[in-house]
Amino acid sequence: MGVAIYLMGPLKAEVDGQNLTDRLREQGEAPIKALHVLAVLALRARGMQNSIERDELIRLLWSDKDQHGKRDLIRHYVCWLRAALEPYAACIGGKASSFLWLEERPVDLWVDLWEFDDACEKGDAAALQQAQEQFNRGKLFKDVPLTGRKNLQEAIDLRERDMNSKLEQLRSAPDNPDCSPTAQDTKQEMWPLAPIGMQAPSERPPRQLAARVWVIMTPRIRTAV
């Protein structure tokens, strides 16, 4: 069955169907922060820089005032994770003293965020439905306290903006007409981070469009006279 990591909605991970936090508790280790380490690695995977340096990982997981002395903790968390992930420990690549990343091969590793990305790449109606289902699970790291973790909050916000952009592009593709009831019903859900006041040109009120046309055409009318 392999390893499954859920970043959208409540954060969790499973190993052959068993909750990873339960496996960590069996070892007598604190499971929550170790799970956060795994989640951040999954969040960064498939990016331009899919590996993450130890000190950057510390900046993402702890607030500025709590970062001192956390290098040894990162090493312990990675050791605990690899033990709890057996027989798939190889999914965590690198060294805790330098760079870490997630390996997609040869380990059977599934991440809901990666499935969302794959669905968006396909670009057909079935893919839109699949991507929307994943998107509707909830925000990334939904139940993770982010107070004081401005670096992690910024990384999550950036990824969610990317998700919104991908979903909008997929929804507006020729095979997925914007006029479908499903697309209209989910439009507000797909733009939770859109700046206030932004509207697509087709959504501007008719009177506003007429005013913009008049402003553009007026200089030409005067020139002709």
Please, which contacts does 216-221 make with residues 24 or more away whose CB atoms are closer than 8 Å? none
pLDDT < 70 stretches in the chain: 29-30, 48, 106, 174-225
- Count structural domains, the chain: 2
pLDDT score at 19: 95
> Considering the domain boundaries, does residue 87 fall inside one?
yes
> Considering the domain boundaries, does residue 206 fall inside one?
no
pLDDT score at 174: 67
Say yes or no: 84 and 131 in one domain.
Answer: no
pLDDT score at 106: 63
- Give the tens place of pLDDT for each residue, 127-165: 889 999 989 999 999 999 888 889 999 999 999 999 999
Say yes or no: 99 and 159 in one domain.
Answer: no
Rounded Cα distance, 19 and 39, in Å: 14
In the beta sheet, which residues pair with residue 15?
3, 18
pLDDT score at 29: 67
189-200 in b/e burial notation, b at 16+ Cβ within 10 A?
ebeeeeeeeeee
Say yes or no: 98 and 155 in one domain.
Answer: no
- Most distant CA pair in the chain: distance in Å? 86
Say yes or no: 15 and 54 in one domain.
Answer: yes
Does the pTM surpass 0.85? The reply is no
Peptide bond into 145 cis (omega under 30): no
Say yes or no: 8 and 79 in one domain.
Answer: yes
Say yes or no: 81 and 148 in one domain.
Answer: no
> Considering the domain boundaries, does residue 211 fall inside one?
no
> Considering the domain boundaries, does residue 212 fall inside one?
no
pLDDT score at 62: 87
Of 109, 136, 168, the last residue of a domain is 109
> Considering the domain boundaries, does residue 210 fall inside one?
no
Say yes or no: 94 and 158 in one domain.
Answer: no
Say yes or no: 16 and 102 in one domain.
Answer: yes
Domain encompassing residue 51: 3-109
> Considering the domain boundaries, does residue 221 fall inside one?
no
Say yes or no: 81 and 47 in one domain.
Answer: yes
Say yes or no: 19 and 98 in one domain.
Answer: yes
> Residue 67 burial by CB count (10 A; 0-12/13-18/19+): exposed, middle or buried?
middle
pLDDT score at 89: 93
> Considering the domain boundaries, does residue 115 fall inside one?
yes
> Considering the domain boundaries, does residue 122 fall inside one?
yes
Say yes or no: 90 and 130 in one domain.
Answer: no
**Domain CATH number, residue 48:** 1.10.10
